[in-house]
């Protein structure tokens, strides 16, 4: 599983990097970015899902690996 942020939808609400700083960071404008390649392990999947459920802009997506 992989987590991605849709940069078109993200408005820098800051919820993801506040609640899951090991998965998400921020850029110079304050928009959310995925740290690393976004691969989720068993220990990070639930937290990524929780961040997704808290994003007001619905900008976070969790995808199955191809």
Partner 1 sequence: MSEKPPVTDFATDFDHTDPAWVADPYPIWQDLRERCPVAHTDRYGGAWFPATHAGVTTIAKDTENFTSRAVIMEEGRPGEEALPAPIGVAPPITSDPPFHQLARKVILPAFAPGVINPLEPKIREVCRALLERFGGDEEVNASWDYARLIPPTVIREMLGFPEEDTERFIEIVHMITESVDNPEEQRIAEFEPIEAYFVQQMEDHMANPRDDLTSYLLNVEIDGQKLAPEHVFGTIVLILVAGIDTTWGAVGASLWHLAHHPEDLARLVNEPDLMPVAVEEFLRFYAPVTMARLVKEDMEYLGCPMKEYDWILLGFPAANRDPVVFKDADQFIIDRAENRHVAFGLGIHRCIGSNLARLELRVAIEEFIARYPKFELADPTAVTWAPGQIRGPRQLALRILS
Interface residues toward partner 1, by CB under 8 A? 11-15, 17-19, 26-30, 50, 53-57
CB of 41 to partner 1, least distance (A): 21
Q: How far is the CB of 66 from partner 1 (least distance, A)?
A: 28
30, 31, 32, 35, 40 from 9: Cα distances, Å: 13, 10, 10, 18, 21
CB of 2 to partner 1, least distance (A): 21
The conformational region for residue 11 under phi > 0 = left, psi -120 to 50 = alpha, else beta, is alpha
4 versus 50: smaller Cβ distance to partner 1? 50
């Amino acid at each position: 599983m992989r987590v991605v942020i849709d940069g078109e939808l993200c408005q820098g609400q800051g919820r993801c990097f506040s609640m899951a700083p090991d998965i998400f960071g921020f850029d110079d404008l304050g928009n959310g970015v995925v740290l690393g390649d976004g691969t989720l392990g068993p220990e990070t999947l639930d937290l990524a899902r929780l961040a997704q459920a808290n994003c007001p802009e619905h900008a976070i997506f969790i995808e199955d690996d191809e």
